[in-house]
């Protein structure tokens, strides 16, 4: 029903955090290179894109099945109080699980990249922070 609202919320928060960090960087203008920023912070945009993409696909699927409509209340589960309870339960179980799964996959990808780059840096004498 509305399980994609949880990943959308996380995507919005990560997008806002990324924009705030970019704005703060531009304000400071210390001339630091990208390599000097924390590795996971540099990869936050990838998490945001993964969440937005998955949420868009889920929203399309819900529109396809008629669970989201172009008129008020937009989510068909909000028309009936019993359905609203089911929607909130689904958001708290399925939605949270999906958001955590996407974040975990992102963490594994970024960790693998970090350790591969770190191993490569030992051979080439580059430093990754």
Higher pLDDT, 77 or 104: 104
- Identify whether 113 is part of a domain: yes
What's the distance, CA 98 to chain centroid? 10
Query: Domain range spanning residue 99?
Result: 5-124
For residue 35, give both structure tokens.
Answer: 């390599």
* pTM greater than 0.75: yes
d(CA 32, CA 75): 46
Please indicate, yes or no, if residue 81 is contained in any of the structural domains: yes
In a domain, 129, yes or no: no
Residue 29 scores a pLDDT above 70: no
| pLDDT single digits (tens) 81-121 | 888 888 899 999 999 999 999 999 999 999 999 999 888 87
Domain-located, residue 105:
yes
Instruction: Decide if 80 is inside a domain.
Output: yes
Residue pLDDT, tens place only, 44-60: 999 999 999 999 999 99
Residue 103 lies inside a defined structural domain of this protein: yes
């Amino acid at each position: 029903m509305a399980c994609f609202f949880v990943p959308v919320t996380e995507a919005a928060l990560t997008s806002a955090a990324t924009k705030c960090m970019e704005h703060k960087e531009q304000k400071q203008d210390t001339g630091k290179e990208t390599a000097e920023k924390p590795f996971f912070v540099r990869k936050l945009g990838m998490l945001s894109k993964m969440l937005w993409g998955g949420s868009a696909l889920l929203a399309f699927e819900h529109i396809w099945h008629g669970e989201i409509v172009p008129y008020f209340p937009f989510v068909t589960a909000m028309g009936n109080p019993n359905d609203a309870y089911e929607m909130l339960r689904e958001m708290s179980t399925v939605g949270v699980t999906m958001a955590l799964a996407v974040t975990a996959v992102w963490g594994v990808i970024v960790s693998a990249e970090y350790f591969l780059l770190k191993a490569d840096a030992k051979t080439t004498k580059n430093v990754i922070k």
